[in-house]
Structure 1
Amino acid sequence: MTDNTDLLRRIDRLESLDAIRQLPAKYSLALDMRDSDAWVSLFPEDVQVGGGKSGRKALRDWFDETMGQQFDGTSHHIGGHVIEFIDENNAQGVVYSKNEHETGAEWVIMQMMYFDRYTRIDGRWYFQRRLPLYWYATDLNKPPIGSRKMRWPGQPPYEGSFHDLFPSWQAFWERAGKAHDAPVSEPAPIDGFIDAMRKDHPLPRPRVR
């Protein structure tokens, strides 16, 4: 009888990839439709909310307050999604998001990405953590040229953290115009592309609006 262990492992990996890939899409749909119960169900029961609070109820309270006070409407468009497994029940990923926000008299567009951790509990995949990293936010009619590209109505402009997850951005500009003689790195392991790019770089602490 043929050993099906490897086949079952590969099927599980494919099913897990699909389940994880749907998480950001479900997140965006629930957020844009203001279904806070559906939105918080994408996180574990003991999700950490901040300020010493935890749990889906606390996260739902934050959602209802934030979405009710800041935005008249939103639309989140999911882009490229890199997913890598740490083990069979834990994974990490980077996913792009292009967002639109109706906020009072202004229509604010935003480009960002999330650095995610995913975990599987009782056979179901959840967000364990989402680290938002912003490039710009600005009125639709005001291109975000120059520095301090995070430009929300009624707030001083500030820098986002879009490029701070990986050290390559700063290194590129430091060597701009100079000879680059270092040998080309070997391709990263299949589940090691993100870590290979990060090079143990510390996590940024983005400013949240």
Structure 2
Amino acid sequence: MTTSTVPASTAPADLLARIDRLESLDAIRQLAAKYSLSLDMRDLDAHVNLFAPDIRVGREKTGRAHLKAWVDDTLRDQFSGTSHHLGQHIIEFSDPDHATGVVYSKNEHETGPEWVLMQMLYWDDYERIDGRWHFRRRLPCYWYASDLNKPPIGDRKMRWPGREPYQGTFHALFPSWQAFWAQRPDKDSLPEVAAPAPMEKFLATMRRGAPDPRIRVR
């Protein structure tokens, strides 16, 4: 039995596009994994090189050097050690070189005398630059952060040592959270079901045009 391979130069364009999409999906998932590993191991050069060269840092600064300085200060001032554990990762493309994603992350932090657990998600923008995928933006949205022995029951679940508790933005990306709790369905009638989201529009459909939440810095 023999097999043959179609040269790339003669392969159908749609096949090449599908292969490129599969390779891009894997590269973006690797990007998120590399983010966690490089951050936890404090390899800040490896870490900041995952971002676009002109990454925005704060309101007025751009570039990997400024990002490295900010990450360095944050880690030295607050955390003796960290461990980031990734969960589900949804990725959708706006074109072959740009994508949006949501990735869950459950994290552990050694911070002074306390061991703080956190549940969050990242709202990401990805861009392929010179053939390699980078973060264009990471928007961290937190549900809770609390000492290992203090379950974050109740409101204001962001409970860092030495700070007043505050509300996270884990649910703020998606209006469905507030809509769900705002009203109860009529149990005497079946609810309406919206049409499925278009391809590559699942996240945008869930967002329903909501603005990005304002993220409070730790």
What is the TM-score normalised by the length of structure 2?
0.92
Larger Rg: 2
Q: How far apart in 2 are the matches of 1:193 and 1:101?
A: 32
**Correspondences of 1:118-157 after superposition (within 5 Å):** 118-157=126-165
**Correspondences of 1:76-91 after superposition (within 5 Å):** 76-91=84-99
The answer for the alignment partner of 1:55 in structure 2 is: 63
Range that drifts further, 127-136 or 174-183: 174-183
Contact 2:185/2:191 (CA < 8 Å) preserved in 1? no
Query: Which of 103, 116, 126 lines up with 1:95 in the alignment?
Result: 103
Between Structure 1 and Structure 2, how many residues are aligned?
Answer: 209
The answer for the alignment partner of 2:208 in structure 1 is: 199
Q: How far apart in 1 are the matches of 2:54 and 2:179?
A: 38
Percent of residue pairs bearing the same amino acid type: 65
Range that drifts further, 67-76 or 186-195: 186-195
> 1:199 is aligned with what amino acid?
R
The answer for the alignment partner of 1:187 in structure 2 is: 196
CA RMSD, 1 decimal: 1.5
Shift of 1:182: 5.0
Structure 2: give runs of 5+ residues left out of the alignment: 1-5
| Secondary structure class of the residue paired with 1:58 | helix
Are the structure 2 counterparts of residues 152 and 33 from structure 1 closer, same or farther at C-alpha, using a change threshold of 3 Å?
same
What is the TM-score normalised by the length of structure 1?
0.96
The answer for the alignment partner of 1:173 in structure 2 is: 181
Give per-residue Cα distances to partners, 1:64-106, cap 9 Å, x unaligned. 1111110000000000000000111100000000000000100
Q: How far apart in 1 are the matches of 2:30 and 2:17?
A: 20
Q: How far apart in 2 are the matches of 1:34 and 1:83?
A: 27
Structure 1: give runs of 5+ residues left out of the alignment: none
Shift of 1:129: 0.4
> 1:7 is aligned with what amino acid?
L
The answer for the alignment partner of 2:50 in structure 1 is: 42
Shift of 1:14: 0.3
Superposition misfits of 4+ residues, deviation over 6 angstroms: none
Are the structure 2 counterparts of residues 141 and 87 from structure 1 closer, same or farther at C-alpha, using a change threshold of 3 Å?
same
Range that drifts further, 170-179 or 199-208: 170-179
The answer for the alignment partner of 1:114 in structure 2 is: 122
